[in-house]
Amino acid sequence: MHGTPISLVRTVPLRCEAITPIVRTVLARLVEASQRGEVALDVDLRGTGRVSVPVLIREAAVNGGPMRFDVSVAALRAPKLFPRFEGRIDAMPADLAGTTNTAVSLTGRYFVPLGVVGRVADATITRGIAASGLSSFLERVIADVLADVAHSADERYLANRRQL
């Protein structure tokens, strides 16, 4: 299989089994929003600015491990001009006891367009740009998970206050 391998890992301060249904919900929302053109990867152009590329996200839950989702990300418009990603999001306990933190990873390969010219550009002048976009995608997923957790906690707090 061709393509450039990539693996990004972030630690989330929640138990793995607690975030699995939340990640599933977040990914479903992102898939739906991406079909309407409402999801974009922010790409850092190495000090010369940023570009936002609307993307189409596809996701499928996979059995195997505490949490695994197959994910693909491709430009919504002009997909033949931007790299596409195929891989997965996994989560595993980040500590030995598995009680406090979760390591969330985005692992797979991205495929640059334009054949040899695209591969040369990816290895030289645009090096790191695809990884930057995928990093922003993983950060978005995690931020949305944490926002959902905070929102749920607020709702529970308010419900308990009403009962007093």
Chain segment 110-144, per-residue pLDDT in tens: 998 877 776 776 666 667 778 888 999 999 999 99
Chain segment 92-110, per-residue pLDDT in tens: 888 777 678 999 999 999 9
Strands (DSSP E) contained in the chain are 4-12, 40-44, 50-61, 67-75, 84-93, 102-111
Predicted pLDDT at 150: 87
pTM: 0.83
Q: How far is CA 11 from the centre of its chain?
A: 13
Mean pLDDT of 68-84: 88
Taken in order of first residue, the domains within the chain and their CATH numbers are 4-163 (3.30.530.20)
Helix axes 16-35, 129-163, angle to 10 degrees: 110
Cβ–Cβ under 8 Å, residues 68 and 90: yes
Strands 84-93, 102-111: pairing is antiparallel
